[in-house]
Amino acid sequence: MTTSDRRYRLGVDVGGTHTDLVLLDMASGDLMVEKVASTPKNPALGVLGGIARFVARGHRAQDIEFFAHGTTITTNALLEMRGAQVGLLISKGYRAVQEVQNQARDGSLFDYFYEKPSPIAPQSLTREITERSDYSGRVLLPLDEDAVRQAARELKAAGVQSVAVCYLFSFMNPAHEELTRALIQEEFPGVSVSLSCEVLPRIREWPRMSTTLLNAYLEPVLVRYIDHLNRGLDEIGVVTQQRFLMQSNGGVMPFSAAIAGGKTVHTLLSGPAAGAQASAFLAEEAAQSGLVTLDMGGTSADIAFIEGGVPLEVTEGIIARRQVDVPALDMTTISAGGGSIAWVDGAGFLGIGPESAGADPGPACYGRGGKRPTVTDADLLCGFLNPGYFLGGAQTLSLDAAWEAIERAVAEPLKISVLEAAAGIRRIVDMRMADEVRVFAARRGVDLSSFTLLPFGGAGAVHAAAVAAELGMRRILVPPRPGAFSALGLLCTDVVHDYIRSDLKPLALVTPEHVEDIYRQLETKARGELADEEMSVADARFSRELDLRYSGQGYELRTPLDGLFVERLTAGSLVAARARFDERHAQIHGHAAANRPVEVVSYRLRVRVAVPKYQQQEEAPGASPGALSRAEKARRVLHISGDEVVEAIVYERDRLAIGDVIAGPAIVEQFDATTVIPPEWRARVDATRNLILESS
C-alpha cells in the first residue's frame, strides 16, 4: 500500500484520567472520537488500547497515514522526580554554579527557611574538566581528554544513566563539548549525553545548565516511552513513519527528533500546548479579538491567552521549580481538575487538590475503589453530570459512592449537608480557576472585557459559565468536541523547530554580513535535521528574530525581523529592527529609550514545515431551526448552590441544528463532555457547530 492510499490522520492526547483519540477521515472529513482510561504506569498502553477500539469499529490501522501525540510523560517524570540518574561535566572552577543557581526564589521573598530545589546532578556525580574558551569562542585551554575519560569511567561505575556537559562559552565554540561526547561514548557506550551547545546555545550559565540538566534527566524516560510506543504501533499495524510528538511551542516534531539533539525539554508542555494551538486555529475569528483557553481535565486546569490570532509565547519558564529556557506557549497550570481531591484541614477549611485521584482508582463515583471525594463527585451530586451517560453511556457513575465520599470527608467535618458540601467544592474550584486567570491576565497586561472564554477538556464546559461570571466575561465558545479538543489540536499544527545562538555585540557594530552568516549557519543545521527526519526541506519556511536589549539591561526582548528584508538583511534592516525593538519595549514596558545604545544578545530561527490539517466546514441552517424538541432528552434538577435549586432541560448536542438557540438553565450532553448553561445565559449553535454562550 502506498502512502496515497491511506486516508486517516490520528491525534492522541494523554491526560491524567483519560486518553483522548481523534481519527480524521481525509476522504470524507468525518471525525471519530474515542476516550479510554489512561494507564499511568505505562501511558502507551492506553494509546494502543484506544487505537484498537478504532480498529474494532472497522478502521484499519494500516490506513493511518499520520500519527501525532501530545503527552505529559516528561512533565510527570519531573513533577514526581523519577528521571534518570545524571552526572555533570563542567569547566574547572565552576562546579558551584548548580548549587548557587540564581537569586530568584519561588513563594514568599521573606521565607527565611526557603530551600532551593535539590540538584539534578549531586556534587558526588559532578566532575570538573580542565578546558576554557573565552567569550568569543577562542580556545584558551585545550580540553583535558584524559580527565574526560576518567570522569566517564567514574560515572559509569556510579550507575549514572545520563550525562550533562556544560562548558563555559560553549555556545560560541562547541568543539570541546562535541569532543567530550565522543570520548564519553567510547568509555561508556550507550549512555545518554546532553550538550549545552545543542540544548540551549545561549548566554547565562545557570539557565543554560538547568535546561541541559533537565534534558539529561528526562531524555532516557522519553526514549524508553517512545521505543515502547513505536514497537506497539508496529505490532498493531500502524505502519506509517509519520509519527510526531507535540512540543511546548505549539508545533510538532518527529519521534526521531524528540530523542536526539537535546530536544527532550521541548516536550515539557506537550499536552497543554495542543489545546491552545487548536483554539487559535479552529476559533480563528474569536482568536483575533482575544481568547482565554481553559483546559480542565482530570488532574489539572491549563490556562492560556490568545491575542491577534496567535497564542502568547515565552522563551523562559519555570516548571516544577526548575528553570527551562526554551520557546513555549505562555501557559499556567493549577491543580483544579475533575479528579482533584476535596479535603478539610485541621482548622475546618475546605481545600481542593493538589492531590488527584487520577485514572486509577479515579473519583469515588467511578466505582473503582476510590474513597476520597473529588470535583467530579461534586458535579455529579449537583446534577451537572448524568450518571447513566458518562462517556456516552460507556461508563456508569455511582451517585451513592459520590454521596458517601463527600458526606464522610467534607459534610460531616464541616457540619453541613452533603449538597451544600458538593456546591462548596464546585464554588472553590471555580473561584480558584477564575483567580488564576485574573492574575495571569494582570501579569500579561491583558484586558479580559473583550475576550471570549474557550473551555475544553472533560470538565471545562461544566465549569466555564461559573468561571466566566466570576471574571465578568460575557461570552463563551464551546467547540464541537470539547473533551477531545487537545487531541484535535494535534491535527491543526505544523512541524516546528526552534534554533538559537548567542553572540553578544552592540547593534551599531554588527554588520549585515555577520548577521547573515549566523542565520545561514542556523538554516544549514535546520535543513540537515529536516532531511534526517525525512521532512520536505523544499517546503520549509524560515522566520528570524533578534533578542535585543538596551545596553546595561538584564533582560532582552524577542524582535521579529519579518518584513524587514527580502532575501538578505541590509544595514537598513538593522535600523528598522532597532525601531521595532523600541516600539515593542514601549508596548510591553510602557517606555522606550530611543537614545540609548542597543545590544544584540541572541539570534533565533524558527523553521516551519506545513502538514495537512483538519479543516472545519460551515453548514447551512437546519430545515427547522428552533424546534428544540428533537434534541430534548429529559429534565433534571440542578443544585446551583446549597439552597438554590433550578430545573434544567437536558439536550443531546448531536441533535441540535445550526441556528438553534437554547435558554438557560439547560444542560447539553455529548459523548465526550457536558456543557452547563446557567440561568440568565443563552446558547446558540453557529455554522461550525460551536456553542456560543452569552450572558444577558
Q: How far is CA 546 from CA 263, 519, 542, in A?
A: 21, 11, 14
- 480/43 Cα distance (integer angstroms): 26
Rounded percentage of the chain residues whose pLDDT exceeds 90:
59
Q: Does residue 518 have a pLDDT over 70?
A: yes
What is the pLDDT averaged over residues 456-466? 92
**Looking at the domain assignment, is residue 233 inside a domain?**
yes
pLDDT tier, 1 (very low <50, low <70, confident <90, very high otherwise): very low
Cell for 418?
452533603
Beta-bridge partners for 215: none
What is the pLDDT averaged over residues 41-61? 91
| pLDDT one-digit tens code per residue, 286-325 | 778 889 999 998 778 889 999 888 888 888 888 878 889 9
Say if residue 375 is in the same domain as residue 516: no
Residue located via cell numbers 445565559 = 681
Say if residue 346 is in the same domain as residue 271: no
**Looking at the domain assignment, is residue 625 inside a domain?**
no
pLDDT tier, 460 (very low <50, low <70, confident <90, very high otherwise): very high
- Domain count for the chain: 3
Rounded percentage of the chain residues whose pLDDT exceeds 70:
98
| pLDDT one-digit tens code per residue, 191-212 | 999 999 999 999 989 999 999 9
pLDDT on residue 624: 66
Say if residue 107 is in the same domain as residue 225: yes
> Does residue 8 sit in helix, strand or coil?
strand
Amino acid at 675: T
Residue 696's Cα: distance from chain center in Å? 34
Say if residue 271 is in the same domain as residue 358: no
- Mean pLDDT rounded to a whole number for the chain: 90
Q: Does residue 623 have a pLDDT over 70?
A: no
Say if residue 278 is in the same domain as residue 356: no
Of the candidates 389, 408, 427, which is a domain's last residue?
427
Say if residue 13 is in the same domain as residue 123: yes
pLDDT on residue 2: 47
Which residue, 181, 261, 195, 172, is CA-closest to 222?
261
CATH number at residue 540: 3.30.1490
CA-CA-CA-CA torsion for 242, 245, 248, 250, nearest 10 degrees? 40
Which residue, 349, 359, 212, is CA-closest to 297?
359
| pLDDT one-digit tens code per residue, 322-364 | 889 988 888 888 878 888 899 999 889 999 888 888 777 889 9
Residue located via cell numbers 551599531 = 508
**Looking at the domain assignment, is residue 333 inside a domain?**
no
**Looking at the domain assignment, is residue 624 inside a domain?**
no
**Looking at the domain assignment, is residue 527 inside a domain?**
yes
Say if residue 261 is in the same domain as residue 359: no
**Looking at the domain assignment, is residue 662 inside a domain?**
no
Q: Does residue 4 have a pLDDT over 60?
A: no
What is the pLDDT averaged over residues 513-529? 95
Say if residue 367 is in the same domain as residue 224: no
**Looking at the domain assignment, is residue 477 inside a domain?**
no
Of the candidates 609, 632, 666, which is a domain's last residue?
609
| pLDDT one-digit tens code per residue, 75-112 | 878 877 889 999 999 999 998 898 888 877 776 677 77
pLDDT on residue 145: 97
Cell for 373?
471525594
State which residues form the domain around 88: 1-283
